[in-house]
Amino acid sequence: MKYLKYTFLSICCLFMANIATAQFLVYGTAGLSGLQYSPEGGTSGARSGFGGGIGYSLALSSSWKIGLAAEMATYSSKASFGTLSEGYEYGTGENKFRISYSLKDYEEKQNITALSVPLTLQYQTGGIIGFFLSGGVKLGMPVSARASISPGTVNVSGEYEYEGQTYTNLPQHGFPEGTKLPETESKIDLGYSVAATLEAGVRIKKVYAGLYLDYGLTDMRKTKDRHALEYQESTPAVFVHNSILNTGFVNKVNLFSAGLKIRVQF
């Protein structure tokens, strides 16, 4: 990661030193764009997204160019569980108990907006009409990350070992049974992303149209040990909901995007 930062700084210095000969560029993207992960006991999939960016392209020769840009893009994904179940310890001393919950027909949609800085190297053929191929790396950081949660029907029990008693069907004490929970939202705690980016297509003069692929190389999660449903001692009848992306139901989260990209250079 340290060498990647130095590379970015070096490229930025190169652009600043040759800003007079660099070409301005704008582009837009649309396609399948989301978070790639495999939830334990559930299914997930990326949904549609779009983006756009501005930047500069510096010619190294008649065929080779290096590009640096700033890009904003949206990503959306959805996860579904027939039943989402978990058990964990809560409290201390005589107040310590094991809380177990199950959520039937759980669904969660994640919506992310991220700011990225792509650094690419491009090869293109000459003439009015030609082909191009580019590849590089993209550093990204979420500016907004929210989960829309439909928890489904919940069953919660509390097992107090020192009492030898398990409590169920006591919603006022945080142990509901067969209760339909309302939809809610939760912030997703995500960090930076490093992704590989590829693009190939056709060039007509200074208009580039092609297919692109961004594949995340790093796990974006900053928090990994929360519970999808958290008990609150102060208000036991009201639960805190967390995105599954910040729980143990998911072991890795990567950005993924593929689709159509159109770019114009000036």
Band (95; pLDDT cuts 50, 70, 90): confident
* Nearest-angstrom CA–CA distance, 16 and 216: 28
Q: Say yes or no to pLDDT of 93 above 80.
A: no
pLDDT value for 134: 97
Q: Say yes or no to pLDDT of 9 above 60.
A: no
pLDDT value for 258: 97
Band (4; pLDDT cuts 50, 70, 90): low
Q: Say yes or no to pLDDT of 169 above 60.
A: yes
Band (18; pLDDT cuts 50, 70, 90): low
Range of the domain at 234: 2-265
| Ranges 81-90, 156-165, 191-200, 255-264: which has the least confidence | 156-165
Half-sphere exposure of 54 (CA within 13 A, CB side): 2
The pLDDT tens digits of the residues spanning 102-154 come to 999 999 999 999 999 999 999 999 899 999 999 999 999 999 999 999 999 99
What's the mean pLDDT when you consider all of the chain? 91
pLDDT value for 233: 87
What single string gives the DSSP state of each residue in the chain?
A: -HHHHHHHHHHHHHHHHTGGGPEEEEEEEEEEEEEE---TTSEEEEEEEEEEEEEEEEESSSSEEEEEEEEEEEEEEEEEEEEEEEEEEESSGGG-EEEEEEEEEEEEEEEEEEEEEEEEEEEE--SSEEEEEEEEEEEEEEEEEEEEEE--EEEEEEEETTTTEEE-SBGGGTB-EEEEPPPEEEE--B--EEEEEEEEEEEETTEEEEEEEEEE-S--BS---B-SEE--SSSTTS-EE--GGGBTT-S--EEEEEEEEEEEE-
Residue reference for tokens 């003439």: 127
- Give the list of residues 6+ apart from residue 158 with CB closer than 8 angstroms, or none: 97, 98, 99, 100, 166, 167, 173, 174, 175
pLDDT value for 65: 93
| Ranges 158-167, 198-207, 209-218: which has the least confidence | 158-167
Q: Say yes or no to pLDDT of 21 above 70.
A: no
* pLDDT more than 90, % of the chain: 82
pLDDT value for 225: 93
pLDDT value for 189: 97
The number of domains in the chain is: 1
* Mean pLDDT, residues 30-46 taken together: 95
Q: Say yes or no to pLDDT of 53 above 80.
A: yes
pLDDT value for 162: 80
CATH classification of the domain holding 105: 2.40.160.20
The pLDDT tens digits of the residues spanning 223-241 come to 999 999 999 988 998 999 9
